[in-house]
Amino acid sequence: MGYMERHFDLRLDPRKLVPGAKSVISLAYNYHTPPKQRDPKAPKLSTYAYGRDYHKVLKKRLRPLMAFITEQFGQVELRAFVDSAPVLEKAWAQRAGIGWRGKHTNVIRQGTGSWFFLCELITDLELAPDAPATDHCGTCRRCIDACPTDAITPYGVDGSRCISHLTIELKDSIPQEFAGKLAGWAFGCDICQQVCPWNRFAEPHNEPEFAPRPEVMELGAEEWHGMTEVVFDRLFEGSAVKRTKYAGLMRNLRFLRL
């Protein structure tokens, strides 16, 4: 995706984000949510969007850790990042030993799977590094074969074909070549994670703010398609779904009926 090319120098050198940076502390936060939407015919949301926007939640959860580091080491340069700045979070997670970058490009952890968010603390503290994670995808290609838009190649994703990009990041009309291929997804997509064998080990999260919103989970197919902007604002206040805005969601819903 084009935006990845912007500020590429910052992605490569954390010292451009935090002066004197010597260490990147990479963290993972579970969001695995087993409950599903009630109506199997309803347009689908990626499970990370069931509750409160993860950007807000993770930043709040990082504050006690940052306070602890300051208490232990005194005045240090320390900055938190939650998918909100040019940081190569997947590369840092792999180097920190959290997991390896799978064929679908999400980070996978043995015994845990891939249902987690990544975030980072960049600091001028010099910390002993952990051993990097090794790849355990083997010959598996379930994510590649399951992608309905053929967006995944081994260890790469064509952003212009990814359902998450098409339903969230894309500001223009969804290209007609994808008609009938969005598999019911109105915001994001979880297919490559749903089929990943490592996710059989995933445990449900225990973050109250990620709990699914009952009203959203109860929406039937026709309620989605007949949603007004007033209802959208009420149902998705503080949710990641607001990223696509009402007009974007309605565009996605209309496209699902083509």
Q: What residues form DSSP beta bridges with 116? A: 30
Half-sphere exposure of 31 (CA within 13 A, CB side): 24
Both tokens of residue 92? 């840092």
Going 11 to 13 to 14 to 15, the CA torsion angle's sign is negative
Q: Which residue has the tokens 């935006």?
A: 3
Q: Residues in the chain, how many?
A: 258
Q: Which helix (H) or strand (E) holds 122?
A: strand 116-123
Q: Which helix (H) or strand (E) holds 25?
A: strand 23-30
190 is catalytic: no
Q: How far apart are CA 214 and CA 163, in angstroms?
A: 25
For residue 189, give the nearest of 250, 147, 155 by alpha carbon: 147
97: left (phi over 0), alpha (psi -120 to 50) or beta: left
**CB of 1 within 8 A of CB of 159?**
yes
Q: How far apart are CA 233 and CA 239, in angstroms?
A: 10
Name the active-site residue from 83, 130, 150, 233.
Answer: 83
Catalytic residue numbers?
A: 83
